[in-house]
Amino acid sequence: MKKIILSMAMLAMVGATATAQENNDGLTPSRPLTSGELFQGMSRAIPTGRVVLPYGLDVTFDKTVHLIFPSAIRYVDLGSQNIIAGKAEDAENVLRVKASVKDFETETNMS
């Protein structure tokens, strides 16, 4: 009798797991999503005129590069410790950038 009850319980558990995996809770859309519907409307496509393209910049240990921006600089984020940057004195829109390590060859970022 124990074997029959145990067999029926095992069969019921196998059947329940097989049906549970068929339910996808609507995760697959019935139609292709548009760019404005990604992440259930929580994200929007960036208009082409608002995209800022990356700009390559060569820096050296011996020379300082000055970047002049159209507005005041509020914050600078450096990607590694191979470069140093700071605002120039008396100018809120000028950023000074220089390599802090001599002859480094790895690429880094700054924003």
Model pTM score: 0.54
- Reported as a single tens digit per residue, the pLDDT across 92-101 is 999 999 999 9
Q: Which residues of the chain have pLDDT under 50?
A: none
Q: How many degrees, rounded to 5, is the angle at CA 64 between CA 96 and CA 90?
A: 40
pLDDT of residue 4: 78
pLDDT tens digits for 33-49? 665 556 666 677 778 88
Q: Is the Cα torsion angle 57, 78, 60, 96 positive or negative in sign?
A: positive
C-beta separation of 96 from 85 below 8 A: yes
Q: What is the pLDDT of residue 64?
A: 94
Specify the pLDDT at position 15. 62
Kindly tell me the burial class for residue 88, based on how many C-beta atoms sit within 10 Å of its own C-beta (0-12, 13-18, 19 or more).
middle
According to DSSP, residue 43 is labeled -
